[in-house]
Amino acid sequence: MSFTYLLRRTFSAAFALAALMISAFFLVRLTGDPVNLYLPFDASDATREAMRVRLGLDRSLAAQFIDWAADILRLDFGVSLWHNRPAMEVVLEALPNTLALGAIALTLAFLAAVIIGSIAAVNPGGWIDRGFNLLSQAAASVPDFWLGLMGVLLFAVTFKILPTSGFGGPIYWILPVACLFARPFGTLVQIIRGSMIEALNATFVRTARAKGAHAGRVTFVHALRNALLPAITVTGDLAAQFAGGGGVVEVVFGFPGIGKLLIDGILKRDFAIVQASIFAVSVVIFIINILVDMLYASIDPRVRVE
């Protein structure tokens, strides 16, 4: 991957990020006046006005935007109203939790999908293929929030073997990981199965079989290397989605990730938290896309970015 390509992608991402942040600035202010949310109903007009002055909300929207843009250029996102701490500091505490949760779920989903999809593709139309196809379609279709609620009801409330919510040791990660695992697993099985069926019928695979190559080597080395390319592309898209946090899943399980933080920030009209979260997630998505491009080029030597 050339430096010119990386530089071009960085510039295009910077323009997209600037447009996104400007949109976020105006959109978050449509959620309402935070003064009405943070002060009691019977607060005096003088108290309300004093808080607006402190937050800079008494100024015109144009003046607020100019000050905000100057702060953003210094990577200063302000202080969180709810946490009373620098917003980016709060975001950087939540982001690693989301990245770890998404990485675990996506890695397990990818590995399981490679195995299941490859086995299903060996004998398309057989009973194993039909069974795995049904399983993957169900996994890809089930909503995350429903799976989370059912998991809480079954394993936390009924059998009492897992916690309903919270954050701590490995036991707190089981249900969130399982919920985030299902949809990418189902999607990737379908993609890998289709790609493997096509690869197993390719000329180079038939040649390898004719030379007496072991069936397992033909399937998991010769064919799989080519079948992984579309799966890697989809995995990159899924990773970018997970970077934004499994918002609903994190809310269901009270998991302190960026998704829950962003939703809480919107509900609490914490403008600084919302804008800092969007910025951090956007940067992570850009990095993920670059890494996917590099991985794609390393697996397929025909792919070269000039």
Asked whether residue 96 carries a pLDDT value surpassing 80, the answer given is yes
Question: 3-state class of 195 per DSSP?
Answer: helix
CA separation for the pair 68, 41 (Å, rounded): 29
Pick from 154, 120, 125: nearest CA to 136: 120
- Could you tell me what percent of the chain has a pLDDT over 70? 94
**Domains detected in the chain:** 3-73 (no CATH), 87-299 (1.10.3720.10)
Specify the pLDDT at position 264.
92
- Once rounded to an integer, what is the mean pLDDT over residues 193-200? 89
pLDDT in tens, 248-269: 888 889 899 999 999 999 999 9
- Distances in whole angstroms, Cα of residue 178 to Cα of each of 152, 170, 257: 11, 13, 16
Q: Tokens at residue 273, please?
A: 């938290």
Task: Tell me the CA end-to-end span of the chain in Å, nearest whole number.
Answer: 7
Q: Return the structure tokens found at 69.
A: 């843009």
The sign of the torsion formed by the CA atoms of 92, 156, 177, 262 equals: negative
Residue 305: pLDDT over 60? no
Which pLDDT tens digit goes with each residue over 261-294? 999 999 999 999 999 999 999 999 888 888 887 7
pLDDT band, very low/low/confident/very high, at 42 (cuts 50, 70, 90): confident
Write out the H or E segment, with its range, that includes residue 67. Answer: helix 61-73
Return the pLDDT at 44: 86
As a whole number of angstroms, the distance between CA 49 and CA 47 comes to: 5
The candidate with the shortest Cα–Cα distance to 229, out of 199, 206, 202, 204, is 199
Cβ proximity of 154 and 105 under 8 Å: no
Across 23-60, b (16+ Cβ under 10 Å) vs e yields ebbeebbebeebbeebeeeeeeeeeeeebeeebebeee
CB atoms under 10 Å from CB of 19, counted, come to 10
Question: Angle at the Cα of 172 (from 169 to 175), degrees rounded to 5?
Answer: 145
For the segment 177-181, the average pLDDT, to the nearest whole number, is 93
Look at residue 306 and tell me whether its pLDDT is greater than 50.
no
